[in-house]
Homo-oligomer: A and B are copies of this chain.
Amino acid sequence: MSSITGAILVGAEERQGSGNGFEAVDPSSGKALSPRFAEADAHDVADACALAAAAFPAFRDLPPEDRAAFLERIADAIAATGEELIDRAMSETGLPRARLEGERGRTVGQLRLFAIVVREGGWMDVTIDPAMPDRQPLPRPDLRRVNMGVGPVAVFGASNFPLAFSVAGGDTASALAAGCPVVVKGHPAHPGTGEIVARIIRQAVADSGLPAGVFSYLPGTTNALGGALVADPRIKSVGFTGSRGGGLALVKIANARPEPIPVFAEMSSINPVILFPAAAQARGAALGTAFVASLTQGAGQFCTNPGLVIALANSDLAAFEGAAVEALAKAPNQHMLTPGIHNAFQTGVTALEGHAAVETLAKGPVGDGINQASGAIFTADADAFAADAALSHEVFGSSSIIVRAPDIDAVASLVSGLEGQLTATLLFDEEDEPLVAPLIPLLAEKAGRILANGWPTGVEVSHAMVHGGPFPATSDTRTTSVGTLAIQRFLRPVCYQNLPDRLLPTALRNDNPCKVARRVDGTMQLA
């Protein structure tokens, strides 16, 4: 694979690193993949951050059209990668071709959507309070506000989306859209995939005539590397998708800086699904089958995997459970993404199997080979589930607990006891609605997205999406890591008072050269 060399990309410079480096591993065989990858160190971090800081003013102040074209250049090049990218990603993740081709499409679409967003300009939130020179008792000055990038952003890609949540994923796309240079800490589970994409971004930086520091790529395996990146004083914000432990470690480092910075960590969620009686009666079996399809998709390695079903216990639940058991028995064999994820999954499942208050309803078939995921469905009573917080901790993979609640009050009580979630799903028919309606406000306190009669896996990249939620789903419930609102994470407002028009940032000038919607004296005016 000619384009993978194992290099560290510090702006335009390629470095080979000083140590022995590391290799990617094929999780389906356990075999190492060539080449060896350099291990970036604190020196590389410092240089990448210095370049990013130097690139920031020019990149931040780039006309929106130019920044949009830059994003589209990246998108076009990723779309044109052909087999090499997909083949390498398959080798490094064990994910099937169709899934990775779909993920590439999603990555490309995400970049193009942010290009549209950048051009449209709503992200700037241009707000103008014209001067009132004759106001009593004091005149009002001319005040104009616009959003601008916060500065260089550190991005930590996810293991489970080697494209869409990785080097050119949602965090990078939204940070670049906001005008922030990006330094990516490459995920060691897919370093070759990462490097291919990193080289594309680097080329787009050069082809767009931007300062090289707009993008750097630091492969590595150590926590020290990520820690040095978050601690670097030139980094002003962090995007992270991964485990609760990993996210909290970065938050701690960020809070301990002389200048603390925000970490947008998307971490942990069990995505409760609530099954209502009429739906269970009318289509319990079909829902049970669909539940297992969502549960086992991608070996359950999704942030939005349905790890908890709360069902009103009655005789109709048997159809749901029976169909789920049957579907799990037929679930395809899949290997998990890494030995570490597989081990953590096995540990979590074993703990549930041995839990006195938990019954094992079904386990899926165990395939041949290494890192094989065997799905697991458990059941527990509402009281038992509520009594042990460990039962509501995420087991990353195809593991779910069906909790039987005696009545709707017990359901509400279970919901009240949950930690913050990315999603909450309601499975109901029309006659369930009197039970459903009062739960919706309660769920809105707990989750960033509430679904009716669907499944939480499958996150649309759009304007209205929220892939976020209260702690520990994320470290900041006020935003999202998927969808166009994600750009707001990397922006801050600046107000200009009484500046002559010619000295104002372009978007704030009287003749509205950026042609953006503006709020003038409190009234929204379209472009």
A residues apposed to B, CB below 8 Å: 56-57, 60-61, 102, 116-117, 120, 122, 127-129, 137-138, 140-141, 143-145, 148, 150-151, 251, 255, 259-260, 262, 419-420, 433, 436-437, 440-442, 444-445, 447-454, 458, 460, 462-466, 468, 470-472, 475-480, 484-485, 488, 491-500, 502-503, 505, 517, 519, 521-522, 524, 526
Contact = CB atoms under 8 A, between A and B. Distances in A.
Contact of A448 (B470, B485, B493): B493
A493 B471 contact: no
B150 A466 contact: no
B150 A450 contact: no
A506 to B, nearest CB: 12
A257 to B, nearest CB: 9
Contact of A493 (B128, B440, B466): B466
Given A259-B471, A452-B503, A526-B524, A479 B493 contact: yes
Contacts of A138: 458
A395 to B, nearest CB: 20
Contacts of A448: 492-495
29 contacts: A61-B441, A120-B522, A127-B463, A129-B464, A140-B460, A141-B454, A143-B465, A255-B255, A260-B475, A262-B478, A433-B502, A436-B503, A444-B494, A448-B494, A449-B494, A449-B495, A449-B496, A450-B494, A450-B495, A450-B496, A451-B498, A452-B496, A452-B500, A463-B521, A466-B495, A477-B492, A484-B522, A517-B524, A524-B524
A255 B248 CA distance: 11
A500 B451 CA distance: 10
Nearest to A127: B464
A450 B148 CA distance: 14
Contacts of A488: 478
Given A251-B260, A484-B522, 17 more contacts: A129-B462, A129-B463, A140-B460, A143-B465, A144-B464, A145-B463, A145-B465, A150-B478, A260-B475, A262-B478, A449-B496, A450-B499, A452-B503, A466-B494, A468-B493, A470-B492, A485-B493
A451 B127 contact: no
Most buried by B among A436, A442, A449, A488: A449
B450 A497 contact: yes
Nearest to A149: B445
Contacts of A500: 433, 452
Contact of A476 (B262, B453, B471, B477): B262
Contacts of A460: 129, 140-141, 143
Contacts of A137: 102
Nearest to A61: B441
- The 10 tightest CB contacts between A and B, nearest first, are A466-B495, A143-B464, A145-B464, A451-B497, A449-B495, A129-B462, A129-B464, A127-B464, A452-B499, A477-B492
Nearest to A500: B452
Given A138-B458, A437-B503, A444-B148, A498 B452 contact: yes
Contacts of A526: 524, 526
A445 B57 CA distance: 9
Given A145-B466, A151-B445, A454-B141, A471 B260 contact: yes
A149 to B, nearest CB: 10
A191 B433 CA distance: 49
A497 B452 contact: yes
Contacts of A463: 127, 129, 145, 519, 521-522
Contacts of A471: 259-260
A106 B337 CA distance: 59
A449 B465 CA distance: 32
A458 B497 CA distance: 12
A146 to B, nearest CB: 9
Contacts of A140: 460, 462
Nearest to A458: B138
Contacts of A117: 522
Given A450-B497, A494-B450, A485 B145 contact: yes
Nearest to A60: B441
Given A493-B448, A495-B465, A503-B452, A522 B433 contact: no
A485 B519 CA distance: 12
Contacts of A144: 464
Contacts of A129: 460, 462-465
A458 B145 CA distance: 17
